[in-house]
Amino acid sequence: MMTEQVRYTVIEICRSVDISPEELTEVVGLGVITPLQAESNWIFDYHALRSLQRARRLQIELELEWSGIAIALTLMDKVERLEKENVQLRRQLDRLLHTV
């Protein structure tokens, strides 16, 4: 997809989600998003923008600090992984029960 090839500078990504460069530094430090390169002139991809938009919505809705958002996102990702694993295990169980 073409949008997935788009790159964003610090200023562009900050403007897109309405945060300051200082907040972006905190967000990157907490591991909420990761720049494509670990240099001083950070560049971000489409996935980082989408993740930051999600984090920003949570921050506004839950009125949490960025550290709380990082924890919330980690837990949400874990729940999503467990739900997928649960679906897979249920399919395996169904196949096992139907072959007996």
Q: For each of the domains in the chain, give its residue range(s) and CATH number, in order of start.
A: 3-99 (1.10.1660.10)
Burial pattern 56-74, b for ≥16 Cβ within 10 A else e, equals bebbeeeeeebeebbebbe
Q: Which residues pair with 44 in a beta bridge?
A: 8
pLDDT of residue 74: 92
Residue with tokens 């949008």: 3
Q: Sorting pLDDT into bands at 50, 70 and 90, what band is 87?
A: very high
- Summarised one tens digit per residue, pLDDT across range 73-83 is 999 999 999 99
- Summarised one tens digit per residue, pLDDT across range 6-60 is 899 999 999 999 999 999 999 999 999 999 987 778 999 999 999 999 999 999 9
pLDDT of residue 79: 97
Which residue type is seen at 14?
C
